[in-house]
Amino acid sequence: MRFDIVLNENFTLDFRELSTSMYLTDGFINRSLEINVSTNDFVYTNQFKDEPIFVVIAILKCVIMLFIITAAIFGNLLVIVSVMRHRKLRVITNYFVVSLALADMLVAIWAMCFNFSVEITNGEWLFGYFMCDVWNSLDVYFSSASILHLCCISVDRYYAIVQPLDYPLIMTTGRLGVMLAVVWSCPALVSFLPIFMGWYSTVEHLDFRKKHPKVCSFTVNKIYAVISSSVSFWIPGVIMLFMYYRIYVEADRQERMLYRSKVAALLLDKHLQINGISVGDVMRERQSIQMQPMASSKMKRERKAARTLGIIMSAFLACWLPFFLWYIITALCGESCPSPPPVVAAVFWVGYFNSALNPLIYAYFNRDFRAAFKKTLGSCCRSIFGTMGRRYCVTLHRREHHHSNTSDMHMNNCLRSTSADILRIQATSSRPEEIVIS
């Protein structure tokens, strides 16, 4: 006996033999679909829930996701607090960095947390039809804002290194505000507007979502896939690659010119000494030579900043390139390019990992950020340990209030111990840096 059971508009299941129940892997939501032929009931179940290996994989997946979310939230919060607390970091470039950290932190709070809830419930969406659109919109919005911030940072570094004399006139506070306003407003045109208006998907998928409110899948049509990926990734990515290529070429040219000028100045100084030129001339030449280390130091700082931001850009491209390749290929291929749910989850979370990676890059490659992070964390530790120590002393004092002498002795010892711990933490956090950036 043959049965044709239509699960949705694009998927038909054929039963050539009658059976009481069968299982089918649902590609939309990464679960098993139990089909009871006798009662025509369709129930989503977890086919492998009792297998130990799948339990271990599920636990490992949850741990990795929670680690990425926690690292992204607290790491980017540390960037924001450090720039606010330390005046040395308040430069034009770091305002872009702070805005980028805010976007990455919001990615963790909104996009990652909702995605995590879907993963731990085996694909079941718990928040309704409207919140599905909210989640998809916020995910697209903050991810697009991140890469547009990196695009602005690359343009800022380009003018700082290629046109250093004109940089203060080009990157003014007004232009900074305009650029930040653009990078926060433009992503709304490819996220909230088309998603809430229903332009992003097909009519069949929208009907499927209305019938299945517990499934929140982001299926897009070809036009939206091309436009959104171009605005969010491909065009800004090409701009960044071009900018950093020009920065690399200019930095290499300046380094070669500086090396030649150093060699020429040293040869000239030696020639003047050999030929007995007057001391005044020699002093003037040496003063000109002494001015070169200042220019060399400034140039090294600019190169290090450009290298750090280049590493950030490379990390972003490495994290998000797999997602956008999958995104554009599956949208253009349609049903002929099926995507296993583990692959979909992997490309999403590799992209999300970039939001947790940026603060680590700052701490390792940038000396100013490294020092600011140490001071900020030291202040937090002193505040936490100082508060805990005072509470412990007060509790101990109340417990032994009936023994006045013993109480005073414990109180004094406790306060001395707490003060010693705080002084030791201060001494550790205020040590000069021993790491030299190569």
Same domain, yes or no: 339 and 280? yes
**Does residue 86 share a domain with residue 228?**
yes
Distances (CA, A) of 82 to 73, 99, 168, 371, 433: 14, 13, 24, 9, 17
**Chain segment 253-284, per-residue pLDDT in tens:** 777 777 666 666 666 666 556 665 544 554 55
Residues 6+ away with beta carbon under 8 Å from 14? 2, 3, 4
Mean pLDDT of the 35-41 span: 38
pLDDT category at 184 given cuts 50, 70, 90 is very high
User: 416 lies in which domain range?
Assistant: 376-429
Would you say residue 271 lies in a domain? yes
pLDDT value at residue 334: 79
Residue of 269, 297, 271 lying closest to 284 (CA atoms): 269
Residues 25 and 59 in one domain: no
Q: Determine the Cα–Cα distance for residues 198 and 193; give it in Å rounded to an integer.
A: 9
Predicted confidence band at 435 (pLDDT cuts at 50, 70, 90)?
very low
Query: To the nearest whole number, what is the mean pLDDT of the chain?
Result: 75
| Amino acid letter, 273 | Q
Q: What is the DSSP string of 227-267?
A: HHHIIIIIHHHHHHHHHHHHHHHHHHHHHHHHHHHHHHHHH
Domain presence at residue 128: yes
Q: Answer yes or no: do 383 and 287 share one domain.
A: no
388 in the same domain as 420: yes
352 and 228 within one domain: yes
Does 19 map to a domain? yes
Q: Is the pLDDT of residue 207 over 80?
A: yes
Cα(205)–Cα(110) distance, rounded to whole angstroms? 24
> Does residue 436 belong to any structural domain of this protein?
no
Same domain membership, residue 216 and residue 69: yes
pLDDT one-digit tens code per residue, 312-341:
778 888 899 999 999 999 999 877 888 888
Q: Are residues 359 and 395 in the same domain?
A: no
Give pTM, 2 decimals. 0.70
Query: Is 370 inside a domain boundary?
Result: no
Round to the nearest angstrom and report the end-to-end CA distance of the chain.
Answer: 74
How far apart (Å, rounded) are the C-alpha atoms in residues 357 and 235?
A: 23
DSSP state for residue 175 in the 8-state scheme: H
434 located within any domain: no
Same domain (yes/no): 23, 58: no
DSSP 334: G
Q: Residues 67, 43: one domain?
A: no
Asked if residue 435 belongs to a domain, the reply is: no
Where among 344, 365, 386 does a domain terminate?
Answer: 365
Contacts of 114 by beta carbon, 8 Å cutoff, 6+ apart: 127, 135, 139
Residue 438 resides in a domain? no
Q: Is the pLDDT of residue 381 over 80?
A: yes
CATH code, domain with 297: 1.20.1070.10
Q: Name the one residue in this structure whose structure tokens are 């809430």.
A: 196
| Same-domain status, 28 and 59 | no
Domain count, the chain: 3
Based on the domain organization, do 302 and 186 belong to the same domain? yes
pLDDT above 90 as % of the chain = 30
Residue 340: CB atoms within 10 Å: 11
Tell me, what's the pLDDT at 364? 73
Helical segments of 198-234, H only: 203-211, 222-229
Q: What pLDDT, on a 0 to 100 scale, did the predictor assign at position 24?
A: 34
